[in-house]
Amino acid sequence: MSNLDDFLSPESPTWCPGCGDYTILKCLKEALVTQGLAPHEVMVVSGIGCGSKVPYYLRSNGYDSLHGRALPVAQGIKLANHALKVIVVSGDGDSMGIGGNHFLHAMRRNPDITHIIENNQIYGLTKGQFSPTSPKGFVTSTSPDGSLEAALNPMVLGVAGGATFVSRTFSGDVRHMVETLVRAMKHRGYSVIDVLQPCVTFNKINSFKWYKERVYDVTKSADYRPQDRKWAFAKALEWGEKIPIGVIYEDTSTPTYEDQVQVLQEGPLAERDERERPIHWRVLAGEEKLKRAFC
Amino acid sequence: MITNDMTIKIGGEAGMGVESGGAGLTRALARGGLHVFGFSDFMSRIRGGHNFFQLRAGVSEVFTFAEEVHLLIAFTKDCIERHRHEVAAAGAILYDEALGVDPESMPGRGVLACPVPFSKIAVETGGDPIMANTCAIAAAAGITGYDFERIREVLEENFKKKSEKVAAGNIAVAQAGYRYAKEKYSAGFKYRLQAIGGRKTEDRMILNGNQALAMGAMAAGCKFIAAYPMTPATSIFEFITAHASEYGIVSKQTEDEIAALLFAIGAGHAGLRAMTCTSGGGFCLMVEALGLASMSETPVVVAEVQRVGPSTGFPTRTEQSDLEFAIHASHGESPRIVIAPATVEECFEAGWRAFNLAEKYQCPVIILSDLHLSSHLQSIDKNRLDFSKVKIDRGELLTRGDLEKLRDYKRHLVTDSGVSPRAIPGHPRSVYVTTSDEHNEYGYAVEDAETRNKMMEKRMRKLETAAREDMRPPLLYGDPDADYTFLCWGSVYGSVRESVDLLGKRGVKANVLRFADLWPFPIEKARPFLERARHLVVVENNYTGQLAHLISRCACVEMDTKILKYSGRPFSPEEVIANLREEARIHV
Ligand SMILES: Cc1ncc(C[n+]2csc(CCOP(=O)(O)OP(=O)(O)O)c2C)c(N)n1
Ligand code: SF4
Ligand SMILES: [Mg+2]
């Protein structure tokens, strides 16, 4: 068992007052406590951006990597020690701009990793340029006449790309976020959470109010069918006057990547017997065989 | 008669089995107790073009190839055109009769024209024209009088994997080709190959630098490799992957090289000995992650097998042009270690030693190899790759016992050596965060000048410690009291070493200083050697003389002569000597 204090970091957040990232930090801690996870069992990996500062403010194993590169670092960690609960927190730019390729390929692999996309539809840390999720026509310092590019939608990408768990939540709804995070972390496989996270400083359009007027909990709809990929796709495409939040897709039949790696079936590699035996004992035992192949 | 000292060259289009035939012949010779050196020159294409495989056999160890060819085996007219001038007087050209080459058109100089119906025999005896290369290598054994049994053995082992029928077909073709060449041409050919009795066939291995490096990494307990295919590094990845399940290794092909190094960093951070391998182009993509490993003090090994650059360059040709890049790759200033093996045996050692250095200094270690070293085949006595000599040094890695006692853990503790005790994540007492941002001893990002200075100095101090404790001096081969001292690194060594021997025979006293531990450059250990030398001649496969730059800036010693080659082809010993003659104006 753990409690919120276990996750208390000596560092205090440097986010702007009112930033949607505060809610993410708070809900993440609550979700971990809800599951009874302790700090040493959790590994939070982030990229670079405002939202990527989460690992400093949450006491757990943490790795704040490079802009866009949280996913590959996290997957390497997971393969080395799949006993760790690995969580990626990274911005919309991080996840879908500079790190877009990693996102595509993580979906195909289905690692047992939870990926929280802090989607403020802007580049926050670099002070307000349009991001891959900014709508077409969005005016920023680098798009003074309005951006000419269409927005990417993380849920659409998630369902199309083969993520086995696709969801959305909102920084203005703590209860919903905790529930969604818990469900995502309990899912065995790659779970994507698109978090609508207002940037109160640089995104004057997609504010708490703007989202509040539009979001609705899709899990409460009469036709809720998260096992149905076509339904999920239709829901993912909904964006505008009404924006669905909640889990839209959940595939529990696809094995995780780690489940399929034969070497990992005896337990996490990093925790194996190697500490008691020399780490190269297997190869020492196989020396003759390895060499004979060259004779 | 000249016995057991000859060069054989096999050439034809891609897809004709030039390389596989050459490798088979190489193995058959090594099994007869001969020492061999074989390398292939192939184009970046799957079919057509012109490829060749060249092998040199001798009684004692062979470190490089020689230019003069004694037996040319040609699958195409083009091959004869290209290489006939390389054939020595009294050498021979074995070629497919079906090529319809007029024997009168041969180079003269006593070179024998030896048509053999390779494809006819392949079709009539084996039932498949693809077996022409089998016929050809058997004919080579026939004309040189080599023991057929060795050829048969190798064919059987190679083809049995496919089917008994394929093996039997190839052996029948080989028998016919062998007999044909032996009866018709052997008597008139003065070069002989002869198995050396009394040796057990399994005493000698035939392998290339990549295979040795991969085995070295495995012998170090490498448990994780992530990579993206790129010639000439791919075979390291393939070798380890082929053995991954058996030896408890996770192998991951990633979406690109950026991910490859980052996966390895993740695995290294989580406690595994982890590596990636690539060539220059892929290494370019890894540069940002390399800085991350330095900053987060994560042990990781990168095998960078150089090829011709810049950009895509020559994908299948050799160069040594990434030395300065490897030393400096990444923005900012960050510690890394660069070592460059020069021989197949050293590839094995570098393969395991890199992991010790990476864990001891908690930084990236780059093994800089090159295409020629990665792919040439060399015979090595089995006991020379001794796994029991592999030492495992995990540096300041905290044991379970240490972790239980841990209090107030500082992952990036400032120490005299620059190295901080390292805990693998997962223990309640060693919960910490690390980061690419500048950070304090706990791993939290900070921005104050004082901490910045301390942490920067701590990280960079590792280089001083490594230079003092682990970087080795250059290795000297030849008479210490020489008039000419060659300096080199990487695969060039084989030819330079041999040119030292050749020069000695011609009355010129030369030696060679080979640098294997390149960064941090062991200045103090190298200085006595450099000061003692009379005339310094650097030999490198690049345009600018990167080792020369390194020595100049680290030790303030300038070269007297530079021999540089950037055509994508390796140096031969004769070429080194010719260059010395020209550049240094000496008469040899
Ligand atoms: C390679 C690289 N390019 C650019 C940057 C500068 N940079 C830092 S954060 C960032 C954008 C962050 O946007 P996002 O990922 O959406 O995170 P947010 O700050 O909005 O939470 C950029 C461009 C960088 N750190 N590294
Ligand atoms: S700039 Fe935006 S995203 Fe960044 S801390 Fe401020 S409000 Fe949050
Ligand atoms: Mg953003």
From B260's Cα to the closest Cα of chain A, the distance in A is 8
CA–CA separation, A260 vs A111, rounded Å? 10
Do residue A56 and residue B445 have CB atoms under 8 angstroms apart? Answer: yes
Supply the residue whose CA is at minimum distance from atom 8 of ligand 2: A19
Q: Assess contact for A20 and A51: CB atoms under 8 A.
A: no
Indicate whether this complex's ipTM tops 0.95.
yes
The chain B residue lying nearest A64, using CA atoms, is B435
Q: Residue B114: phi, psi to the nearest 5?
A: -125, 80
Supply the residue whose CA is at minimum distance from atom 7 of ligand 1: A126
CB contact A269 to B (< 8 Å): yes
Strand order, beta sheet including B517-519: B250-253, B224-227, B274-278, B300-306, B364-370, B337-339, B517-519
CA–CA separation, B292 vs A45, rounded Å? 14
By C-alpha distance, which of B371, B380, B393 is closest to B346?
Answer: B380
Can you read off the two tokens belonging to residue B458?
Answer: 């701590």
CB contact B430 to A (< 8 Å): yes
Candidates A6, A56, A79, A258, partner chain B, best to mutate (most B CBs within 10 A): A79
Task: List, in sequence order, the alpha helices (H) in B110-208.
Answer: 118-121, 132-144, 148-160, 164-185
Do residue A275 and residue B399 have CB atoms under 8 angstroms apart? Answer: yes
Please name the member of B226, B256, B390 whose beta carbon is closest to the beta carbon of A280.
Answer: B390
Candidates A6, A290, A292, partner chain B, best to mutate (most B CBs within 10 A): A290
Task: List, in sequence order, the alpha helices (H) in B204-256.
Answer: 209-219, 234-242, 244-247
Question: Which residues, in sequence order, are CB contacts of B219 under 8 Å at separation 6+?
Answer: A280, A283, A284, A287, B348, B351, B352, B387, B390
pLDDT of residue B203: 83
- CB contacts of B254 in chain A (<8 Å) are 72, 105
Can you read off the two tokens belonging to residue A224?
Answer: 């809720």
| CB hemisphere CA count around A2 (13 angstroms) | 22
CB contact B412 to A (< 8 Å): no
Angle (CA) B503 B507 B509, round 5°: 65
Do residue A64 and residue B437 have CB atoms under 8 angstroms apart? Answer: yes
CA–CA separation, B423 vs B430, rounded Å? 6
CA B483 and chain centroid, separation = 30
Q: How many angstroms is it from A160 CA to the middle of ligand 3?
A: 22
Q: What is the pLDDT along chain B (588 residues), one digit of tens a residue?
A: 999 999 999 999 999 999 999 999 999 999 999 999 999 998 888 888 999 999 999 999 999 999 999 999 999 999 999 999 999 999 999 999 999 998 777 878 889 999 999 999 999 999 999 999 999 999 999 999 999 999 999 999 999 999 999 999 999 999 999 999 999 999 999 999 999 876 666 789 999 999 999 999 999 999 999 999 999 999 999 999 999 999 999 999 999 999 999 999 999 999 999 999 999 999 999 999 999 999 999 999 999 999 999 999 999 999 999 999 999 999 999 999 999 999 999 999 999 999 999 999 999 999 999 999 999 999 999 999 999 999 999 999 999 899 999 999 999 999 999 999 999 999 999 999 999 999 999 999 999 999 999 999 999 999 999 999 999 999 999 999 999 999 999 999 999 999 999 999 999 999 999 999 999 999 999 999 999 999 999 999 999 999 999 999 999 999 999 999 999 999 999 999 999 999 888 887
Q: Assess contact for A18 and A200: CB atoms under 8 A.
A: yes
B364, β-bridge pairs: B300
Domains of chain A, each with CATH number or no CATH: 4-257 (3.40.50.970), 261-295 (no CATH)
CB contact A133 to B (< 8 Å): no
pTM above 0.95, yes or no: yes
Q: Assess contact for A80 and B225: CB atoms under 8 A.
A: no
Domains of chain B, each with CATH number or no CATH: 2-199 (3.40.920.10), 207-389 (3.40.50.970), 400-469 (no CATH), 475-583 (3.40.50.920)
Can you read off the two tokens belonging to residue B213?
Answer: 């490096």
- Ligand 1: does its nearest atom lie under 6 Å from the Cβ of A49? yes
- Ligand 2: does its nearest atom lie under 6 Å from the Cβ of A49? no
Q: How many angstroms is it from A46 CA to the middle of ligand 1?
A: 12
- Ligand 1: does its nearest atom lie under 6 Å from the Cβ of A67? yes
Angle, helices B148-160/B164-185, rounded to nearest 10 degrees: 160
Question: Which residues, in sequence order, are CB contacts of A288 under 8 Å at separation 6+?
Answer: none
SS3 B473: coil
Q: Assess contact for A21 and A197: CB atoms under 8 A.
A: yes
